[in-house]
Structure 1
Amino acid sequence: MDTPARLQPLLEQFDWARERLTRRLAGPSVDSGNGTDVEVPPLTDEEYLWEPVPSCWSVRRRSAGPGPGASALTGAGDWGRDTAPYPHPSPPPFTTLAWRLSHLSELLALRADHTVGSHALTRDDHRIVGDAAGAVADFDASAAAWRAALLDADDAALDRVGHCTYPYGGDPEERFLDVVWWVNQELLHHGAEIALLRDLHRARGGLA
């Protein structure tokens, strides 16, 4: 099936942002923006779980329980991501690179399922990863699943309200094309946050 013309620029933006974030995490280099490659060391477990300020929300071993201000650890497996029911604490807690990457992978995987999959997965079904290499692989798999959902969409699907039934946003009340746009914004802004955290970690010498 040919990609609808309206989807093509959004698909290209998604591919660009996905590749840029993956290279920013795994290296060996990333385009600085002007065509110059900048060396990037692979993300380490220490950096993945680094807490830049006190009382961060992060991903934690389930046996350790939730962190400060959180009431639960969401997700499946031995690790969970700090969370609390709405309304969330105000001001919002600062979140680690691990939290942000886990959140991004989860929203991609679940949206893919609620578009072309079982339409049944919840946050409690998504396995939370406690190591850097595993988290990068999880992001790659989640991004691939979402991209496959995009390639399945024709022009009618792009205009269909509720084509994606993802239950943690406005997706069931929105056109799929608007959902696609929103997911790109999620990838772009969380990718930028993750890149900044890597810069901060490097600039302070990697000290915990």
Structure 2
Amino acid sequence: MENDRVRTDRLGVLLDQFDCVRERAQVRLEGLGDEEYLWEPVPGCWSIRRRSEAVTPRAYGPGEWLLDQGAPDIPAGEYAEVARQAADGMSVAKIAEDWSVSVERVEEVLAHTGPVEPDTTPITTIAWRLGHLHSCFAGEWEWTFGERRTDPKQLVDFTPSATLALDRFWSLIDRWREAVGKVTEEQLDTVGFSQYPYGSAPDDPYISVLWGSNLELIHHMAEIALLRDLWQARFNARG
């Protein structure tokens, strides 16, 4: 028996996946308070910080609060992706530009053989994860459906208020979903339909960009959910 609610067209599958993740994420984020939002479970976390207190070399944001960001590099987990980019014909110079690293660093990655060392990455707060997602989706909306003028790193005014951050994020996500829902089959196959400047979006068909956006939402929301579980376990352990 056919289920009228299930779409099997290419865009429909991605939209249904997105909607499912959004619904589950909103439930998981109910009741998020400021202390939990900013909780740093270990020393050296990345988070949002006042401009005067920022310590990471590329922390960014237009206002008083900035999102931590470290020095540019290609993590070990992305070596295979860089190799695929080169195999697909992307120049070393373009790869270096996309990753904000030197040509020499790309050549080093491409020349690597054997197993790679595990990445050492900072633990991030819920505030960081949510801010990162907000920044990514705001930038992708602006550089796909908007005027394509504003630097994506200047689009989101980060805030220490969990309630305000969530209100702003869900509002953006709803706008994003509405715009994506109107994308045509032709646009799905159009290379460069999105001109989002961080990453390979300008060089990919838009359906690949959408797939990546869904993946970004899924994995960061899963991390946020785990941080919420750890926060609750910590609270219970203390009685």
Name the TM tier (shorter chain): 0.7 to 0.9
Counterpart of 2:14?
10
Q: Normalising by structure 1, what TM-score?
A: 0.84
Shift of residue 149, structure 1, vs aligned partner: 2.4
Q: What amino acid sits opposite 2:220 in the alignment?
A: H
Aligned residue pairs, count: 187
> Does the alignment pair 1:161 with 2:191?
yes
Q: How far apart, in 2, do the equivalents of 1:178 and 1:141 lie?
A: 24
Q: How far apart, in 2, do the equivalents of 1:130 and 1:77 lie?
A: 12
Counterpart of 2:161?
131
Q: Assess if the C-alpha contact under 8 Å between 1:109 and 1:145 holds in 2.
A: no
Counterpart of 2:78?
none
Shift of residue 4, structure 1, vs aligned partner: 9.4
Structure 1, gaps ≥5 residues long? 27-41
Greater percentage in strand: 1
Q: How far apart, in 2, do the equivalents of 1:168 and 1:88 lie?
A: 13
Q: Assess if the C-alpha contact under 8 Å between 2:48 and 2:128 holds in 1.
A: yes
Structure 2, gaps ≥5 residues long? 1-6, 76-118
Shift of residue 5, structure 1, vs aligned partner: 2.6
Counterpart of 2:70?
84
Q: Assess if the C-alpha contact under 8 Å between 2:139 and 2:155 holds in 1.
A: no
Name which of 94, 111, 122 aligns with 1:93.
Answer: 122
Q: Assess if the C-alpha contact under 8 Å between 2:135 and 2:155 holds in 1.
A: no
Q: How far apart, in 2, do the equivalents of 1:88 and 1:10 lie?
A: 28
Q: Normalising by structure 2, what TM-score?
A: 0.74
Percent identity for Structure 1 against Structure 2? 43
Counterpart of 2:92?
none
Counterpart of 2:45?
56
Q: Assess if the C-alpha contact under 8 Å between 2:138 and 2:155 holds in 1.
A: no
Counterpart of 2:210?
180
Q: How far apart, in 1, do the equivalents of 2:148 and 2:178 lie?
A: 15
Partner secondary structure for residue 80 of structure 1? strand
Q: Assess if the C-alpha contact under 8 Å between 1:57 and 1:95 holds in 2.
A: yes
Tell me the C-alpha RMSD between the 2 structures. Answer: 1.9
Greater percentage in helix: 2
